Amino acid sequence: MRSAVSRGLWDSSSIMLGYFPVAVSFGVAAISAGLAPWMAVLISVCIYAGASQFILLLLIAQQTDVWSMVFIVIAVNLRHVFYGPALLSQFNSTGLEPKPYAVMAFGLTDEVFAAARARLSQLRVAPKAYWYIGLQLGAYSSWVIGTAVGAYLASDWLSRFPILQQSLAFVLPALFFALLLDMINSVDKRLLIAAALSTGLSSLFFVAHTSLIIGMVVGCGWALVTQLKRKRV
């Protein structure tokens, strides 16, 4: 068990390095929005939703009502509904009773999903759920610690160098793209092309998070049809 968790923590190092500066940026942005440092950390501890936390700050600044905030944050993160089933088959035999699906779902982010999707099938550690929890734990701790650093320590320093704060916003997309490149080797290229094209075309008519959901539906549909064809052969 310990070796699997340790391996997961080690494999999360690239995610941790990517999350930390973005989390620092969130901590700084939260202070700029008028939140107390402990509130910024509490948001990262309880919500842990990456870009959605920045959207939440904007909604708070606009004095949006609570239910609207809840609806918008859920809508932006609706893509995660597709992440769980895509990984679920890897955990049919977790070796854990009861299976900690609630914990495993809470720590599921874009980057964790990309890393797990690319590596789970190649893992030799058992049970894989412990590796996955270690992966999540590393990413989660980096995000929370980075938020605390940004909220308590770095706000004055970063405010003196605006270009650093602007560059931090690019780290998370760059990290996800790097993980996507790693996944390309283990996924049908036609599936990726279909999902990318449908996402790009739908972005001409819908907002970004809706386009992502459409792309995921197309990708899942493509994968389902492909698997059904293989079973018939």
**Above 70 in pLDDT, residue 3?**
yes
Same domain as 25, residue 38: yes
CA–chain centroid gap for 114, Å, is 8
Confidence of residue 175 (pLDDT cuts 50, 70, 90): low
Same domain as 175, residue 128: yes
Same domain as 97, residue 20: yes
Same domain as 165, residue 214: no
What is the average per-residue pLDDT within 2-10?
83
* 3-state class percentages of the chain: helix first, strand second, coil last, to nearest 5: 80, 0, 20
Predicted confidence (pLDDT) per residue in 72-130, tens digit? 788 777 777 778 777 877 775 545 555 677 788 888 888 888 888 888 777 766 677 78
Percent of the chain, pLDDT > 70? Answer: 77
Query: Quick one: three-class SS letters along 39-79?
Result: HHHHHHHHCCCCHHHHHHHHHHHCCCCHHHHHHHHHHHCCC
Phi and psi angles of residue 109, each rounded to the nearest 5 degrees, phi first: -120, 175
**Above 90 in pLDDT, residue 174?**
no
pLDDT, the chain, mean:
79
Which of 169, 185, 201 finishes a domain?
185
Q: How far apart are CA 41 and CA 143, in angstroms?
A: 9
Same domain as 212, residue 170: no
Same domain as 142, residue 125: yes
Same domain as 229, residue 208: yes
**Above 60 in pLDDT, residue 170?**
yes
How far, in Å, are 51, 107, 200 from residue 115 at the CA level? 18, 13, 23
The answer to whether 29 touches 53, Cβ cutoff 8 Å, is no
**Which residue range(s) make up the domain with 220?**
188-233
Same domain as 93, residue 141: yes
Same domain as 157, residue 194: no
Same domain as 229, residue 149: no
Q: How far apart are CA 165 and CA 183, in angstroms?
A: 29
Same domain as 6, residue 20: yes
Predicted confidence (pLDDT) per residue in 27-53, tens digit? 888 887 788 899 999 999 998 988 788
Predicted confidence (pLDDT) per residue in 101-115, tens digit? 778 888 888 888 888
Phi and psi angles of residue 226, each rounded to the nearest 5 degrees, phi first: -60, -45
